[in-house]
Amino acid sequence: MEQRASKVVIITGASSGIGEATAKLLASNGAAVVLAARREDRLRQIAADIRRAGGEADYFQANVASSEEMNMLVRHAVERYGRVDVLVNNAGIMPVSKLRELRVDEWERMIDVNVKGVLYGIAAVLPVMRDQRSGHIVNVSSVAGHVVSPTSAVYSATKFAVRAITEGLRQEESPETGIRTTIIAPGMTETELMNTVSSPEVKQMGEMLRGMSIPPDRIAKAIAYAIDQPDDTSVSEIVIRPTAQPM
């Protein structure tokens, strides 16, 4: 890298939706972005798009539900760029259904990806940020991390957990090391996630609300805003709701 990037940012779930939009926006603002997800072909393509547009991007195939792979991801970023300024824990899944209809393997997977994935990311990056005595961990929760609706009990539980983890981390780390944390809580956003909804009721509601859903680049702007704050200012949570949406 000839020119020093403004920030080195790892983004999980960067192969589509909010993660992809965030990677592209941050790179266009001068950050070096390390894209992580499971679909290597998509990551390669997005990283190439970013470089073609004059940005700095690298990628690493990683399943956030594996602590080992999250450690490898952070190690890769440090070897490539020498530091990690920001980790955006964005990867998430949402196979929503009523509790009685949700299969055990589905709720286990949701907890593995949405909760353990965030914890593995934090565990991997925290020693690096503590050594640097600086860093910022941005965790993507949801408005479902504030309000529970029928068919979203487990998804909501994972997103409440993300908020609790982020707030606990802030209390433990910020006063001592200056490491910042931000919770991002989007309302319904137009991404592939909405196509993975298995419950017919939620699908129907999703179709009704689709016209009111938020474009992913708006969520990316919220993340960029939180990251761009000066070191002595911390944005602890941003909730992004479409004006016309009921929840």
The answer to whether the CB of 88 falls within 8 A of the CB of 22 is yes
From 5, 7, 9, 13, residue interacting with ligand NAD (rule: CB under 6 A): 13
Pattern of binders to ligand NAD over 29-68, x per CB under 6 A? --------xxx-----------------------xxx---
Provide the residue type at 59 as one letter: Y
User: Cα-flanking dihedrals φ and ψ of residue 189, to 5°?
Assistant: -120, 140
19 touches ligand NAD by CB under 6 A: yes
121 touches ligand NAD by CB under 6 A: no
154 touches ligand NAD by CB under 6 A: no
DSSP string of 177-243, one letter each residue: H--EEEEEEE-SBSSGGGGG---HHHHHHHHHHGGGPBPHHHHHHHHHHHHHS-TT----EEEE--T
Q: With CB under 6 A as the contact rule, which of the stretches 7-15, 98-106, 128-136, 228-236 interacts with ligand NAD?
A: 7-15
207 touches ligand NAD by CB under 6 A: no
Q: 91 or 126, CB closer to ligand NAD?
A: 91
Q: 134 or 217, CB closer to ligand NAD?
A: 217
Cα-Cα end-to-end distance for the chain = 44
From 101, 108, 131, 192, residue interacting with ligand NAD (rule: CB under 6 A): 192
The answer to whether residue 225 is catalytic is no
Question: What's the token pair of residue 29?
Answer: 């603002």
92 touches ligand NAD by CB under 6 A: yes
Q: How far is the CB of 85 from ligand NAD (least distance, A)?
A: 21
Chain centroid, CA 35 distance in Å: 11
Q: 178 or 190, CB closer to ligand NAD?
A: 190
From 57, 70, 94, 125, residue interacting with ligand NAD (rule: CB under 6 A): 94
97 touches ligand NAD by CB under 6 A: no
Q: Which residues pair with 88 in a beta bridge?
A: 11, 138
Question: Of 59, 81, 120, 155, which one is the catalytic site residue?
Answer: 155
Q: 45 or 132, CB closer to ligand NAD?
A: 45
Q: What is the Cα–Cα distance from 24 to 14, expressed in whole angstroms?
A: 10
Q: How far is the CB of 4 from ligand NAD (least distance, A)?
A: 28
Binding site for ligand NAD (CB under 6 A): 12-13, 15-19, 37-39, 63-65, 90-94, 113, 140, 142, 186, 188-189, 191-194, 216
Catalytic residues: 155
